[in-house]
Amino acid sequence: MSNATKNSIETKNLHVGYQQKNSVNLIQQNISIQLAKGEFVGILGKNGIGKSTLLRTLTGVQEAISGDVIINGKNIKSYNYRELSTIISLVLTEQLPDSQLTVFDLVALGRQPYTNWVGKLEKKDLEKIRWALEQTETTALAHRYFYELSDGQLQRVLIARALAQDTQIIMLDEPTAHLDMHHTIKIFQLLKKLSQETNKTIIMTTHEVNLAIKGADQLILLTEKDVVAGKKEALIANNSFDTLFSSEIVNFNATLEQFIITKKS
């Protein structure tokens, strides 16, 4: 099987950051990774290391400084906006603007790449919306206004919107931010289940390092020196987690396969 068929996302010598007027703010460089179709992928690293910048670059929302992002064997620059919106969906943690949208209305927005210019929902669109609500266990919330929801409920609804968009790839930026432990675990379980049952590639940035190590099929680790990607076992064997956080407070325990609080002597 060729890489073009096997990999849903590939990067080649990717440099990410921000282009300013007379200079470039380079955040991460020489990123070369391959993510297979149907994988649940976690992007890990400390605050400000470039997790969200990398995610936005992989979606095409933010332009790369240099290098290539390959989606299904084709350079991301070769896709127009409409084409890309049927391949990649993005879930952000930004506050939604004030409106009178119900949960159903919000999830239905995921069908915009497929509806005609008046946004009329056809039978297939309604089926996708109902399926997305069922998958995220939000059907009972369909007629509630989105601003009435708890943080955990709203996060599941935003994931439902991405599912209704019916893309091969779903990317999420800190989907468990501001959630308690119970709802955080529920979101991880939901995303893992969706990747397994729908064969969609699901990529998320997260600070929930131990949950990601336990549940992700592949991990992308961002440090000041480099970016490494691989399965948990390979990253442990290469001591890759040891440099993820330069802190005397936590250390990675290879036996337990998780970060633990360092005991003071």
For residue 138, report the phi and psi dihedrals to the nearest 5 degrees: -120, 10
Structural tokens at position 175? 């989907």
Tokens 């209305």 sit at which residue?
Answer: 105
- Structure token digits, residue 60: 């095409």
Q: What is the mean pLDDT of the chain?
A: 92
Helix axes 181-198, 151-165, angle to 10 degrees: 10
Strands of 2-140, DSSP E: 7-19, 24-31, 34-36, 40-44, 66-71, 74-75, 88-91
pLDDT in tens, 185-230: 999 999 999 999 999 999 999 999 999 999 999 999 999 989 999 9
Share of the chain above pLDDT 90, in %: 82
User: Using one digit for the tens of pLDDT, what is the confidence trace for 166-188?
Assistant: 999 999 999 999 899 999 999 99
* Residues 69-108: tens digit of each pLDDT: 999 999 999 999 899 999 999 998 777 888 899 999 999 9
Q: How far apart, in whole angstroms, are the C-alpha atoms of residue 207 and residue 242?
A: 16
Q: pLDDT tens across 110-167, in order?
A: 999 998 666 789 999 999 999 999 999 999 999 999 999 999 999 999 999 999 999 9
Q: What is the pTM of this model?
A: 0.92
Three-state DSSP class for 45? coil
Contact assessment for residue 39 and residue 195, using Cβ atoms and an 8 Å cutoff? yes
Burial level of 215, CB count in 10 A (0-12/13-18/19+)?
Answer: middle
- Looking at the chain, the whole-number percentage of residues with pLDDT higher than 70 is 95
- Spatial distance between the Cα atoms of 174 and 156, rounded to a whole number of angstroms: 13
> What is the C-alpha to C-alpha distance for residues 1 and 7, in angstroms, rounded to an integer?
10
| pLDDT value at residue 75 | 96
Pairing assessment for the beta strands 34-36 and 7-19 based on DSSP bridges = antiparallel
Give, in degrees to the nearest 5, the angle at Cα 224 between 177 and 242. 80
- 171: closest CA among 180, 160, 159? 159
pLDDT of amino acid 3: 44
